[in-house]
Amino acid sequence: MSQEFKWGILCTGGIARAFARDLTFLNNHIVAAVGSRTKESAEDFSMEFPGCAAYGSYEELVADPNIDAIYVATPHPMHVTHTVLALNAGKPVLCEKPFSINSSEARQMVEASIHNNVALLEAMWMRFLPHIFDVRKILASGVLGEIINVTADHGQRLADQGIPRLIEPSLAGGALLDLGIYPVSFAHMVLGVPTSIQAAAVMTDKGVDASTSMLFTYASGAQAILSTTMIAQTPCRAVISGVNGWLEIDRTFYNPASMRVHLYEGGTTEYPSSYQGHGLREQAIEFERVVRSGKYESEHLTHKHTLEIMELVDQVRSKIGLKYPSE
């Protein structure tokens, strides 16, 4: 493998373009190829990235011998198909969040990674941002003491925009999978797997969740209070409270953000952010490290972690009565 790390972008939608553009901040990451269902769409995408090959099918893309990794950016109902396609072709895969519709699909993807001995990583980009690594260090230091409570919200006013992947049951729509995955993943990072889950939702006329609120309780006695909605903009902040103080992350907690630690005995430590760009490139840096090291998963977001998160989402959906036509 050369010093350059060459990406194949599977899909030409908004998040695919945002990821490709953020790669331009990195000297050695190259948008080498793009695949779409039509040659025209691929060619239009490739014009922004010099030297980028354009393919009119995903099969052609994953067969390109010059590609080091595939970024799967199709809508999440298609993740299992396209991820397994690339893994079976021997290509490492960074798969956009939500990883899949459910934990059953997620297991198929992980099994394909293990069977082919090829790297697979959930593109939960929040987990690889600089301020989130600072959160991990603060938690590991014990300065907050025993963690008692985690709160996180993610709300965007999107439901009135008529975006099919958000509103259609056939596309596994709803706030939980698209937006709520951030608070759920954040709580999992801090507290792990809860022993009990409570959830309530307001459903749309089409039968997907417009808003969902969750209460996770853990063996330690800690709780996570999480919420998501696609009908209103919310503060999108997160707070971790311990017996000795609390850590608060400013809006938007899953983007590069400033934060601070307040201690009950006095004193506040600021963690300002001066990050440039979107932040999607951080997961690309981590995935390059994983691939070059010969591993098939990242210790910062293992396959086990991703499966646990998808199982949590399954349980929340069961509580609110949300089942998709494909299940």
State the chain's mean pLDDT as an integer.
Answer: 97
Q: How far is CA 155 from CA 73, 174, 175, 283, in A?
A: 22, 12, 8, 23
The residue type at 190: V
Q: Give residue 317's pLDDT.
A: 98
| Structural domain of 230 | 130-278
| 98 and 196 part of one domain | no
| 259 and 135 part of one domain | yes
Q: Is residue 289 included in any domain, yes or no?
A: no
Q: Is residue 15 included in any domain, yes or no?
A: yes
Q: Is residue 20 included in any domain, yes or no?
A: yes
126: closest CA among 165, 98, 166, 155? 98
Q: How far is CA 142 from CA 165, 220, 221, 232, 243, in A?
A: 41, 15, 17, 36, 10
Give dist(CA 178, CA 144) in Å, integer: 31
Checking if the pLDDT of 1 tops 80, the result is no
4: left (phi over 0), alpha (psi -120 to 50) or beta: beta
The structure tokens listed for 188 are 């999992």
State CA 88 to chain mean position distance: 23
State CA 298 to chain mean position distance: 14
**Domain edge (last residue) among 108, 123, 138:** 123
| 109 and 135 part of one domain | no
Longest dimension (CA), the chain: 62
CATH number at residue 81: 3.40.50.720
Q: Is residue 318 included in any domain, yes or no?
A: no
247: closest CA among 155, 127, 147? 147
Query: In this predicted model, what pLDDT tens digit does every residue of 55-86 receive, in sequence order?
Result: 999 999 999 999 999 999 999 999 999 999 99
Label residue 205 exposed, middle or buried (CB < 10 Å: 0-12, 13-18, 19+).
Answer: exposed
Supply the DSSP string of 39-82, one letter for each residue. HHHHHHHHTTSTT-EEESSHHHHHT-TT-SEEEE-S-GGGHHHH
Q: Is residue 288 included in any domain, yes or no?
A: no
- Give 298's DSSP letter: B
| 139 and 269 part of one domain | yes
Checking if the pLDDT of 291 tops 90, the result is yes
Residue 2: pLDDT band by 50, 70, 90 thresholds? confident
Q: Give residue 277's pLDDT.
A: 86
CATH number at residue 204: 3.30.360.10
Contact between 93 and 17 (Cβ < 8 Å): no
Supply the DSSP string of 149-167, one letter for each residue. EEEEEEE-B-GGGT-HHHH
Contact between 207 and 135 (Cβ < 8 Å): no
154 DSSP β-pair partners: 228
| 196 and 67 part of one domain | no
**Domain edge (last residue) among 123, 144, 177:** 123
| 93 and 114 part of one domain | yes
| 89 and 136 part of one domain | no
| 141 and 89 part of one domain | no
Give dist(CA 217, CA 205) in Å, integer: 31
| 149 and 258 part of one domain | yes
What integer is the mean pLDDT of 183-212? 98
Q: Is residue 303 included in any domain, yes or no?
A: no
* Total domains, the chain: 2
Give dist(CA 72, CA 61) in Å, integer: 11
Q: Is residue 316 included in any domain, yes or no?
A: no
| 114 and 137 part of one domain | no
| 220 and 118 part of one domain | no
Helices 39-46 and 14-23: angle between axes, nearest 10 degrees: 30
Q: Is residue 307 included in any domain, yes or no?
A: no
Whether residue 98 is preceded by a cis peptide bond, meaning omega within 30 degrees of 0, is yes
- Percent of the chain clearing pLDDT 70 (strictly above): 100
What integer is the mean pLDDT of 312-324? 98
| 189 and 237 part of one domain | yes
What integer is the mean pLDDT of 234-241? 98
**Domain edge (last residue) among 123, 140, 162:** 123
- Give 301's DSSP letter: B
Checking if the pLDDT of 19 tops 90, the result is yes
